[in-house]
Amino acid sequence: DIQMTQSPSSLSASVGDRVTITCRTSQSISSYLNWYQQKPGKAPKLLIYVASSLESGVPSRFSGSGSGTDFTLTISSLQPEDFATYYCQQSYSIPRTFGQGTKVEIK
Amino acid sequence: EEQLVESGGGLVQPGGSLRLSCAASGFTFSTYWMHWVRQAPGKGLVWVSRIKSDGSSISYADSVKGRFTISRDNAKNTLYVQMNSLRAEDTAVYYCAAEKYYYDSSGYLVSAFDIWGQGTMVTVSS
Protein backbone atom coordinates (compact mmCIF):
# COMPACT_ATOMS: atom_id res chain seq x y z
CA ASP A 1 0.00 0.00 0.00
CA ILE A 2 1.13 3.56 -0.70
CA GLN A 3 1.62 5.53 2.51
CA MET A 4 0.68 9.22 2.52
CA THR A 5 2.29 11.65 4.95
CA GLN A 6 0.95 15.17 5.28
CA SER A 7 2.60 18.00 7.11
CA PRO A 8 1.89 19.81 9.24
CA SER A 9 -0.93 17.95 11.02
CA SER A 10 -2.38 21.31 12.01
CA LEU A 11 -1.60 24.97 11.60
CA SER A 12 -2.89 28.30 12.81
CA ALA A 13 -3.12 31.13 10.34
CA SER A 14 -4.78 34.48 9.86
CA VAL A 15 -7.08 35.68 7.13
CA GLY A 16 -4.94 36.81 4.22
CA ASP A 17 -2.02 34.52 5.04
CA ARG A 18 -0.39 32.28 2.47
CA VAL A 19 -0.71 28.65 3.57
CA THR A 20 1.23 25.66 2.30
CA ILE A 21 0.48 22.02 3.06
CA THR A 22 2.74 19.22 1.90
CA CYS A 23 2.03 15.59 1.10
CA ARG A 24 4.72 12.95 0.65
CA THR A 25 4.09 9.47 -0.71
CA SER A 26 5.99 6.27 0.06
CA GLN A 27 6.60 5.60 -3.64
CA SER A 28 6.38 7.58 -6.85
CA ILE A 29 2.82 8.16 -8.04
CA SER A 30 3.56 10.47 -10.99
CA SER A 31 0.82 13.12 -10.75
CA TYR A 32 -1.95 10.83 -9.47
CA LEU A 33 -2.60 13.05 -6.47
CA ASN A 34 -5.81 14.78 -5.41
CA TRP A 35 -6.63 17.28 -2.66
CA TYR A 36 -9.89 17.53 -0.71
CA GLN A 37 -11.33 20.00 1.78
CA GLN A 38 -13.57 18.84 4.60
CA LYS A 39 -15.53 21.03 6.99
CA PRO A 40 -16.95 19.68 10.28
CA GLY A 41 -19.96 17.44 9.78
CA LYS A 42 -19.69 17.64 5.99
CA ALA A 43 -18.48 15.38 3.23
CA PRO A 44 -15.10 16.01 1.63
CA LYS A 45 -15.01 18.26 -1.42
CA LEU A 46 -12.62 17.86 -4.32
CA LEU A 47 -10.33 20.87 -4.78
CA ILE A 48 -7.42 19.75 -6.95
CA TYR A 49 -7.01 16.67 -9.16
CA VAL A 50 -3.99 15.23 -10.94
CA ALA A 51 -1.75 17.29 -8.66
CA SER A 52 -2.40 20.71 -10.15
CA SER A 53 -5.75 20.90 -11.95
CA LEU A 54 -8.35 23.06 -10.26
CA GLU A 55 -11.79 21.46 -9.95
CA SER A 56 -14.58 23.49 -11.51
CA GLY A 57 -15.98 26.10 -9.13
CA VAL A 58 -12.99 26.08 -6.77
CA PRO A 59 -11.50 29.54 -6.16
CA SER A 60 -8.22 30.31 -7.90
CA ARG A 61 -6.49 31.05 -4.58
CA PHE A 62 -6.12 27.25 -4.30
CA SER A 63 -3.29 25.69 -6.26
CA GLY A 64 -1.44 22.41 -6.31
CA SER A 65 1.98 21.34 -7.49
CA GLY A 66 4.39 18.45 -7.44
CA SER A 67 4.98 15.06 -8.97
CA GLY A 68 6.65 11.81 -8.02
CA THR A 69 6.58 11.68 -4.23
CA ASP A 70 6.32 15.31 -3.12
CA PHE A 71 3.26 17.48 -3.50
CA THR A 72 2.02 20.82 -2.23
CA LEU A 73 -1.34 22.50 -1.74
CA THR A 74 -1.15 26.28 -1.48
CA ILE A 75 -3.82 28.75 -0.46
CA SER A 76 -2.53 32.11 -1.65
CA SER A 77 -4.66 34.31 0.63
CA LEU A 78 -6.59 32.49 3.34
CA GLN A 79 -10.27 33.36 3.57
CA PRO A 80 -12.66 32.74 6.51
CA GLU A 81 -14.39 29.93 4.61
CA ASP A 82 -11.08 28.10 4.12
CA PHE A 83 -10.76 27.04 7.76
CA ALA A 84 -11.18 23.29 7.41
CA THR A 85 -9.25 20.03 7.24
CA TYR A 86 -7.40 19.18 4.03
CA TYR A 87 -6.56 15.70 2.78
CA CYS A 88 -4.35 14.45 0.00
CA GLN A 89 -5.25 11.18 -1.74
CA GLN A 90 -3.49 9.03 -4.30
CA SER A 91 -5.32 7.56 -7.29
CA TYR A 92 -2.30 5.62 -8.57
CA SER A 93 -3.25 2.26 -7.14
CA ILE A 94 -5.64 0.26 -5.03
CA PRO A 95 -6.09 0.62 -2.13
CA ARG A 96 -6.74 4.30 -2.55
CA THR A 97 -5.06 5.98 0.41
CA PHE A 98 -5.42 9.36 2.09
CA GLY A 99 -3.08 11.51 4.10
CA GLN A 100 -3.91 11.90 7.78
CA GLY A 101 -5.24 15.41 7.22
CA THR A 102 -4.10 18.96 7.96
CA LYS A 103 -6.40 21.06 10.10
CA VAL A 104 -6.24 24.77 9.30
CA GLU A 105 -7.37 26.82 12.27
CA ILE A 106 -7.89 30.50 12.93
CA LYS A 107 -5.00 32.27 14.61
CA GLU B 1 -27.74 18.38 -9.57
CA GLU B 2 -25.36 15.47 -9.06
CA GLN B 3 -26.23 13.80 -5.77
CA LEU B 4 -25.49 10.75 -3.65
CA VAL B 5 -27.65 9.93 -0.63
CA GLU B 6 -26.63 7.23 1.83
CA SER B 7 -29.01 5.40 4.15
CA GLY B 8 -29.08 2.36 6.40
CA GLY B 9 -26.74 3.41 9.18
CA GLY B 10 -27.50 2.88 12.84
CA LEU B 11 -26.54 1.14 16.06
CA VAL B 12 -25.62 -2.54 15.84
CA GLN B 13 -24.12 -4.98 18.31
CA PRO B 14 -20.67 -6.48 17.76
CA GLY B 15 -20.96 -9.44 15.42
CA GLY B 16 -24.09 -8.02 13.83
CA SER B 17 -24.86 -7.01 10.27
CA LEU B 18 -26.00 -3.91 8.45
CA ARG B 19 -26.61 -2.99 4.81
CA LEU B 20 -25.92 0.53 3.62
CA SER B 21 -27.41 1.99 0.45
CA CYS B 22 -26.33 4.94 -1.67
CA ALA B 23 -28.84 6.37 -4.12
CA ALA B 24 -27.47 8.34 -7.05
CA SER B 25 -29.17 11.03 -9.10
CA GLY B 26 -28.26 13.78 -11.54
CA PHE B 27 -25.46 11.88 -13.29
CA THR B 28 -24.96 8.70 -15.29
CA PHE B 29 -24.40 6.32 -12.38
CA SER B 30 -23.79 3.30 -14.62
CA THR B 31 -20.60 4.85 -16.04
CA TYR B 32 -18.89 5.56 -12.71
CA TRP B 33 -16.66 3.42 -10.56
CA MET B 34 -18.11 3.71 -7.04
CA HIS B 35 -16.40 3.57 -3.66
CA TRP B 36 -17.11 3.43 0.05
CA VAL B 37 -14.91 5.57 2.31
CA ARG B 38 -15.26 5.73 6.07
CA GLN B 39 -14.25 8.12 8.82
CA ALA B 40 -14.10 7.12 12.47
CA PRO B 41 -15.10 9.85 14.95
CA GLY B 42 -12.40 12.51 15.04
CA LYS B 43 -10.20 10.59 12.59
CA GLY B 44 -9.20 10.77 8.94
CA LEU B 45 -10.62 9.29 5.76
CA VAL B 46 -10.09 5.59 5.07
CA TRP B 47 -10.90 3.82 1.80
CA VAL B 48 -13.07 0.72 2.22
CA SER B 49 -14.09 -0.75 -1.13
CA ARG B 50 -14.53 -0.15 -4.86
CA ILE B 51 -16.74 -1.54 -7.61
CA LYS B 52 -16.40 -1.04 -11.35
CA SER B 53 -19.13 0.66 -13.34
CA ASP B 54 -20.55 -2.66 -14.57
CA GLY B 55 -19.86 -4.55 -11.34
CA SER B 56 -17.25 -6.80 -12.92
CA SER B 57 -14.33 -5.73 -10.74
CA ILE B 58 -14.34 -5.35 -6.96
CA SER B 59 -11.67 -4.50 -4.39
CA TYR B 60 -11.62 -4.28 -0.59
CA ALA B 61 -9.40 -2.92 2.13
CA ASP B 62 -7.72 -5.70 4.09
CA SER B 63 -9.54 -4.57 7.23
CA VAL B 64 -12.96 -5.47 5.77
CA LYS B 65 -12.11 -8.28 3.35
CA GLY B 66 -14.28 -11.31 3.96
CA ARG B 67 -16.77 -9.33 6.07
CA PHE B 68 -18.04 -6.60 3.70
CA THR B 69 -19.61 -7.09 0.27
CA ILE B 70 -20.02 -4.23 -2.16
CA SER B 71 -22.60 -4.39 -4.94
CA ARG B 72 -24.59 -2.14 -7.22
CA ASP B 73 -27.85 -2.07 -9.17
CA ASN B 74 -27.44 0.19 -12.18
CA ALA B 75 -31.15 -0.11 -13.01
CA LYS B 76 -31.93 1.43 -9.63
CA ASN B 77 -28.93 3.81 -9.60
CA THR B 78 -27.97 2.43 -6.22
CA LEU B 79 -24.76 1.27 -4.55
CA TYR B 80 -24.75 -1.08 -1.57
CA VAL B 81 -22.43 -2.49 1.03
CA GLN B 82 -23.39 -5.48 3.14
CA MET B 83 -21.43 -5.39 6.39
CA ASN B 84 -21.25 -8.60 8.44
CA SER B 85 -19.35 -9.59 11.59
CA LEU B 86 -19.18 -5.96 12.61
CA ARG B 87 -16.57 -4.86 15.14
CA ALA B 88 -16.22 -1.81 17.36
CA GLU B 89 -13.48 -0.54 15.05
CA ASP B 90 -15.98 -0.40 12.17
CA THR B 91 -17.72 2.49 13.95
CA ALA B 92 -17.57 5.42 11.53
CA VAL B 93 -19.40 7.68 9.15
CA TYR B 94 -19.62 5.82 5.85
CA TYR B 95 -19.49 7.86 2.66
CA CYS B 96 -20.16 6.69 -0.85
CA ALA B 97 -18.15 8.46 -3.53
CA ALA B 98 -18.18 8.48 -7.31
CA GLU B 99 -14.79 8.30 -9.01
CA LYS B 100 -14.57 10.42 -12.13
CA TYR B 101 -11.93 9.76 -14.75
CA TYR B 102 -10.16 12.58 -16.59
CA TYR B 103 -7.49 12.81 -19.27
CA ASP B 104 -4.53 14.86 -18.08
CA SER B 105 -2.42 17.13 -20.30
CA SER B 106 -0.29 14.17 -21.37
CA GLY B 107 -3.29 12.09 -22.36
CA TYR B 108 -3.12 9.79 -19.35
CA LEU B 109 -6.32 8.68 -17.61
CA VAL B 110 -6.45 9.95 -14.04
CA SER B 111 -9.22 9.92 -11.47
CA ALA B 112 -10.65 11.60 -8.38
CA PHE B 113 -13.65 11.33 -6.10
CA ASP B 114 -15.72 14.19 -7.45
CA ILE B 115 -19.16 13.36 -6.00
CA TRP B 116 -19.67 12.46 -2.34
CA GLY B 117 -22.72 11.56 -0.30
CA GLN B 118 -23.48 13.22 3.03
CA GLY B 119 -22.52 10.11 4.96
CA THR B 120 -24.36 7.69 7.24
CA MET B 121 -23.23 6.85 10.78
CA VAL B 122 -22.60 3.26 11.80
CA THR B 123 -22.08 2.58 15.49
CA VAL B 124 -21.00 -0.87 16.64
CA SER B 125 -21.53 -1.21 20.37
CA SER B 126 -23.18 -3.42 22.93
Tens digits of per-residue pLDDT, B47-87? 999 999 999 999 999 999 999 999 999 999 999 999 999 99
Cα A106-B42-B17 angle, rounded to 5 deg: 155
Q: What value does the mean pLDDT of chain B take?
A: 96
Give dist(CA A40, CA B38) in Å, integer. Answer: 15
Pairing of strands B120-124, B92-103: antiparallel
Q: What is the dihedral of CA B75, B31, B33, B19, to 10 degrees?
A: -10
A44 vs B61, B104, B116: nearest CB: B116
Q: What value does the mean pLDDT of chain A take?
A: 97
Residue of A nearest to B107 (CA): A50
Tens digits of per-residue pLDDT, A32-71? 999 999 999 999 999 999 999 999 999 999 999 999 999 9
By the CB < 8 Å criterion, does B57 face chain A? no
Q: Report residue A106's pLDDT band, with 50, 70 and 90 as the boundaries.
A: confident
B44 vs A49, A53, A87: nearest CB: A87
Does residue A3 carry a pLDDT above 90?
yes
In the Cβ-directed half-sphere of B36, how many Cα atoms lie within 13 Å? 34
Mean pLDDT, residues A93-104: 97
Mean pLDDT, residues A80-101: 97
